[in-house]
């Protein structure tokens, strides 16, 4: 390993340590690493922009979805759905838990998991206090569900889109090859509910009559908004079959444009307010980390690590798939899964070349694609393991703190670790049987 490679790998490790230790904001860490690579001539600014541009679809998709969600916040539709869900429990704690799983699964299938928690999470603590239920377990359940259900569609988790974009998966092709794993993982979580959340499962809820009355505001704008979302989802499903293909990222940007037009002309909110509340820090974090991983590719670090991976895993694809799933699952339980996958995708691609499973410059053969599927499953459900594993987990902890509660690492581990272990074991069986 030469000096440039050592410097690139050291920069990557340094940024990951900053993220693990929570010593600075994730956006600052990613920008620091990217600028370090540029200043020390590991790559030029133009090359960094090129590496970021390779993942333009991921950035465009999440920007579009963020704008759409923010544009419809004034209608209070998400608060209405949460209150309606609780009122339908009939006073049974088991129905409350199943309702949280059902509502979260529905929304996180079409929105990124962290966005789902941002939308629904703030309603949980006040509702729990009214019902006499501890709020922290309910928040944790919502986070675990959002992460698990994120596997259902290519837009449900950033991990899916990063992998899908590199493999050229469409919305429909993703449903065919990976959506089934999401169904299985949500089912595993459902089976564990009576054991992990026993006190709430057996509880009889009271004070349902004291639930706040939330009415839909701007119903006409919401009706048009539902048409926009349906229009966007239609493009997600069939857009890439058009004579001029429309990718999910393009569909999300189109939906964002229509949502801003609706919000502006119906006067429910202004465009500057909508854009001000977009999660720019997450988008910039993505850009910085894409550039850092690009420096690893340019200096040849990923190629060397791929040779080591080829020597360790060999050419037994079934065994390699299960090892990758467990390896990424374990690592992503203690480190943020998005940076892990950003780094793993080019590494795994180089491994297929080093092992003689694929030819550089040609499309990856179908036989090696399950390796990427296994990695995506492991990274997604491994994120359930600890509080540091996924962005949705951190969002949930922040929501708890903002309402006067503390979601500690140990509290999350109590629920997340059993779920992650069960899902990783079932995931290995799924990979072995299905792929």
pLDDT at res. 155 = 80
According to DSSP, the residues that pair with 204 across neighbouring strands are 92
Give the pLDDT score at 323.
87
Position 388 pLDDT exceeds 70:
no
Distance between CA atoms of residues 85 and 10, nearest Å: 49
Residue 403 near residue 126, CB atoms below 8 Å = yes
Query: Which pLDDT belongs to residue 22?
Result: 65
Report pLDDT for 10: 87
Q: What is the pLDDT of residue 426?
A: 95
CA-CA distance, 253 to 235, in Å (whole number)? 11
CA–CA gap between residue 203 and residue 92 (Å, rounded):
6
Beta carbons within 10 angstroms of residue 416's beta carbon: 25
Contact assessment for residue 122 and residue 154, using Cβ atoms and an 8 Å cutoff: no
Residue 363 is given by DSSP the state: P
Q: Quick check: 345 and 166 in contact, CB under 8 A? A: yes
pLDDT digits (tens, 9 = 90+) for 104-125: 999 888 877 877 887 788 788 8
180 pLDDT exceeds 90?
A: yes
Given a cut of 70, whether residue 431 has pLDDT beyond it is yes
**What pLDDT does residue 1 have?**
65
Q: Could you tell me if 380 and 150 are in contact, meaning their C-beta atoms sit under 8 angstroms apart?
A: yes
Q: What's the pLDDT at 428?
A: 93
CA separation for the pair 122, 344 (Å, rounded): 33
Among the residues of 55-178, which ranges form H helices?
A: 56-71, 77-87, 93-108, 113-120, 124-131, 135-149, 158-167, 171-177
Residues 427, 428, 432, CA angle at the centre, nearest 5°?
115
Q: Sorting pLDDT into bands at 50, 70 and 90, what band is 159?
A: confident
For residue 186 the two structure tokens come to 């949500």
Q: How far is CA 352 from the centre of its chain?
A: 25
Q: And the tokens for 39?
A: 């200043």
Please name the residues in contact with 170: beta carbons below 8 A apart, sequence gap of 6 or more.
154, 240, 248
Question: Does 146 score more than 90 pLDDT?
Answer: yes
Q: Tell me, what's the pLDDT at 292?
A: 85
Structural domains counted in the chain: 1
Largest interatomic CA distance in the chain? 69
pLDDT for 71: 85
Expressed as residue numbers, the domain containing 51 is 3-434
Task: Specify the higher pLDDT residue, 144 or 54.
Answer: 144
pTM to 2 decimal places: 0.75
CA 412 to chain centre: 18
Nearest to 57 by CA among 169, 175, 161, 151: 161
Percent of the chain with pLDDT over 90: 19
Any bridge partners for residue 92, and if so which?
Answer: 204
Q: Where are the alpha helices (H) located in 205-300, listed in sequence order? A: 219-238, 248-265, 271-276, 280-299
Asked if 321 contacts 368 with a C-beta cutoff of 8 angstroms, the reply is no
Q: What are phi and psi of 220, to 5 degrees?
A: -65, -45
Q: How do residues 189-248 score in pLDDT, each as one tens digit?
A: 999 999 999 988 988 877 777 777 777 888 888 888 888 888 887 887 777 777 888 887
pLDDT at residue 334 in the model: 65
Q: Which residue would you say has higher pLDDT here, 60 or 206? A: 60
**Residue position matching structure tokens 């989802």:** 233
Share the mean pLDDT of the chain: 84
How far apart, in whole angstroms, are the C-alpha atoms of residue 142 and residue 274?
26
Counting every residue written for the chain, the total comes to 435
Asked whether the CA dihedral 51, 54, 57, 58 is positive or negative, the reply is negative
Nearby residues of 64 by Cβ (< 8 Å), 6 or more positions away: 249, 251, 252, 253, 254, 255, 256
């Amino acid at each position: 390993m030469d000096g440039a490679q050592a410097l690139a790998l050291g920069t990557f490790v340094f940024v990951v340590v900053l993220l693990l230790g929570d010593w600075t904001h994730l956006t600052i860490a990613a920008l620091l690493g990217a600028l370090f690579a540029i200043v020390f001539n590991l790559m030029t600014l133009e090359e960094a922009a090129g590496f970021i541009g390779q993942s333009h679809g991921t950035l465009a998709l999440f920007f579009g979805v963020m704008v759409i969600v923010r544009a419809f916040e004034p209608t209070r539709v998400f608060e209405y759905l949460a209150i309606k869900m609780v009122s339908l429990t009939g006073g049974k704690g088991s129905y409350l838990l199943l309702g949280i799983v059902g509502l979260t699964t529905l929304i996180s299938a079409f929105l990124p998991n962290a966005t789902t928690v941002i939308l629904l999470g703030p309603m949980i603590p006040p509702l729990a206090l009214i019902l006499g239920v501890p709020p922290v377990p309910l928040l944790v359940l919502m986070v675990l569900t959002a992460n698990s259900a994120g596997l259902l569609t290519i837009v449900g988790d950033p991990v899916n889109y990063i992998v899908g974009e590199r493999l050229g998966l469409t919305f429909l092709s993703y449903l065919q090859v990976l959506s089934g794993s999401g169904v299985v993982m949500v089912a595993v979580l459902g089976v564990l509910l009576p054991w992990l959340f026993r006190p709430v499962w057996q509880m009889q809820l009271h004070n349902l009559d004291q639930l706040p009355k939330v009415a839909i505001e701007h119903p006409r704008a919401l009706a048009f908004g539902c048409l926009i979302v349906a229009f966007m989802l239609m493009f997600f499903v069939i857009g890439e079959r058009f004579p001029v293909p429309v990718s999910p990222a393009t569909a999300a940007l189109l939906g964002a444009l229509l949502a801003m037009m609706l919000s502006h002309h119906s006067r429910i909110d202004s465009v500057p307010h909508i854009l001000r509340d977009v999660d720019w820090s997450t988008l910039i974090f993505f850009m910085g980390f894409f550039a850092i991983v690009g420096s690893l590719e340019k200096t040849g670090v990923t190629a060397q690590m791929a040779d080591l991976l080829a020597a360790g895993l060999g050419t037994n694809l079934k065994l390699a798939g299960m090892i990758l799933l467990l390896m990424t699952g374990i690592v992503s339980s203690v480190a943020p899964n998005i940076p892990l996958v950003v780094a793993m995708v080019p590494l795994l691609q180089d491994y297929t070349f080093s092992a003689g499973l694929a030819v550089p410059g040609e499309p990856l053969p179908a036989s090696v694609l399950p390796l990427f599927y296994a990695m995506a499953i492991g990274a997604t459900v491994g994120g359930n393991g600890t509080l540091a594993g996924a962005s949705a987990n951190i969002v949930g902890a922040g929501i708890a703190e903002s309402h006067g509660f503390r979601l500690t690492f140990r509290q999350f581990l109590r629920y997340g670790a059993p779920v992650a272990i069960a899902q990783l074991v079932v995931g290995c069986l799924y990979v072995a049987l299905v792929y």
